[in-house]
Structure 1
Amino acid sequence: MPHLLHLDSSADLATSRSRAITAAFAQAWTARGDDFTVTHRDLHRDPLPHFATNEQHWPAADRLPGAQVPAEQDELTARIHAELLAADVLLVGAPLYNYTVPSTLKVWLDHVHIPGALAGAGTQPLAGRPAVVVSSRGATYDAGSETEGWDHGVPVLRIVLGNSLGMDVHVVQTSATLADRLPELAELKDRGVTEFEAAKAAARELGATL
């Protein structure tokens, strides 16, 4: 039974483009048949707790002697790992907030990026599984522009999901999402609309084929 883990992290519950694009993917996924199932975790509505101690970044066997980690924290991390391991495909809604991923998504990454558990050489049970990253960006970060390289969201996800966890990362991206709100970006409004429609189409295609 093919299973999708769908994560959203946008704080905009009404007009979020990342949420609209992940929804397009999820709808195409479930349209393939009743056996195509979904677990949806909304990291904004139901945020995960930050680690209580740095020792949570390590498996129990590798922690310093005497390390104190609340049992409920270990249990939560174990549930998050099980949820991810049960997924054939991972879908991540990742709007760009202040040039990086939302803090709610960063906490989820902290829970899954634990050396010796899901990440690291010789420990990649998720290797080869598809991960679809939906990136929405208020402005533009084109090659050769003054803001080239300011997007620190997608690179982080490529490193954690791709390099560390070994997943096969696909990126669906839309830019100029604030062009209809900010006067200084008004000339990018048409581009924003075009990229949004193209991103939804790309997400539907991936949802129907991965």
Structure 2
Amino acid sequence: MPTLLRLDSSASGDASVTRRLTDAFEQAWRARGASYDVVARDLHADPVPHLETSALHWAPGTRPEGSVPAEAAALQQTLVDELLAADVLVVGVPVYNYAAPSTLKAWIDRVHVPGWTTGPTTRPLAGRPAVLATASGIAYDEGSPTEGHEHAVPALEVVLGTALGMWVEVVAARYTLAAEVPELAPMRHRGEQELTDALARLADLGATLT
């Protein structure tokens, strides 16, 4: 049974653009048949706690005895098992203050574990698809005053792609605030087109990735 792991982290509820994007992927995935399963984790509604101890950065069996509370170890096991069991990962990545929400970072801190999910000889997720569906109120174009200011997607590309070895595709919708902020009004058409294109691309990926 092919399994999709869907992560959402937006605090915007029904107004969330990234949730629209991950919805498009999930709907296309489910349309492929009843055997296409979805495990959904809403990191805003049900946040993962920040690390109780830095010992969680190490794989079970390599930690000092008694250094990790049993409840924390069990939660980490659950999150890693969910990720390892997924054939495809789709992540909603809103950009808050130039970075990913702290709720998403807390999840990353639980699943990026040397000797377990990453390492010179340990990369069980290598080659598996990870789709980053990202949205931001402005853009970070090359040559613009904000070039290089966005750190959400680059950090996730390093963790999921470089470290865990996953095949990462980024689908972005920028200028999502162009309809609300007068100063961004000239970019409204671009924002609408990027959202349309992103929804179409995510539907295509949801219908084809394995």
Q: TM-score if structure 1 supplies the norm length?
A: 0.97
Any idea what the Cα deviations from partners look like across 1:96-126, whole Å, max 9, x if unmatched? Answer: 1110111000000000111111012111001
Secondary structure, counterpart of 2:119 in structure 1 = coil
The alignment of Structure 1 onto Structure 2 pairs a total of residues equal to 209
Q: Which residue of 2 aligns with 1:58?
A: 58
1:140 aligns with 2:139: yes
Q: Which residue of 1 aligns with 2:113?
A: 114
Secondary structure, counterpart of 1:169 in structure 2 = strand
1:186 aligns with 2:191: no
Q: 5+ residue gaps in structure 2? A: none
Secondary structure, counterpart of 1:61 in structure 2 = coil
Q: 5+ residue gaps in structure 1? A: none
Q: Could you tell me how far 1:67 is from its partner in structure 2?
A: 5.2
Q: Could you tell me how far 1:189 is from its partner in structure 2?
A: 1.1
Q: Could you tell me how far 1:61 is from its partner in structure 2?
A: 2.9
Letter of the structure 2 residue corresponding to residue 90 of structure 1: L
Letter of the structure 2 residue corresponding to residue 133 of structure 1: L
**In 2, are the aligned partners of 1:44 and 1:104 still within 8 Å (CA)?**
yes
1:48 aligns with 2:86: no
Letter of the structure 2 residue corresponding to residue 111 of structure 1: R
Secondary structure, counterpart of 1:105 in structure 2 = helix
Q: Which residue of 2 aligns with 1:150?
A: 149
Q: TM-score if structure 2 supplies the norm length?
A: 0.97
Q: Which residue of 1 aligns with 2:7?
A: 7
Task: For 1:79 and 1:199, locate their aligned partners in 2 and report how far apart those are by CA, in whole Å.
Answer: 31
Task: For 2:66 and 2:162, locate their aligned partners in 1 and report how far apart those are by CA, in whole Å.
Answer: 29
Identity of aligned residues (%): 54
Secondary structure, counterpart of 2:172 in structure 1 = strand
Query: Within 5 A, what are the aligned runs for 1:24-103?
Result: 24-63=24-63, 65=64, 68-103=67-102
Task: For 2:57 and 2:171, locate their aligned partners in 1 and report how far apart those are by CA, in whole Å.
Answer: 29
Q: Which residue of 2 aligns with 1:162?
A: 161
Letter of the structure 2 residue corresponding to residue 83 of structure 1: E
Any idea what the Cα deviations from partners look like across 1:9-54, whole Å, max 9, x if unmatched? Answer: 0001021111001100000000000001100100000000111111
State the superposition RMSD in angstroms: 1.0
Task: For 2:44 and 2:182, locate their aligned partners in 1 and report how far apart those are by CA, in whole Å.
Answer: 28
Flag as ranges the 4+ runs of structure 1 deviating above 2 A: 60-63, 65-68
Task: For 1:2 and 1:61, locate their aligned partners in 2 and report how far apart those are by CA, in whole Å.
Answer: 30
Task: For 2:18 and 2:119, locate their aligned partners in 1 and report how far apart those are by CA, in whole Å.
Answer: 29
Secondary structure, counterpart of 2:132 in structure 1 = strand
**In 2, are the aligned partners of 1:55 and 1:67 still within 8 Å (CA)?**
no
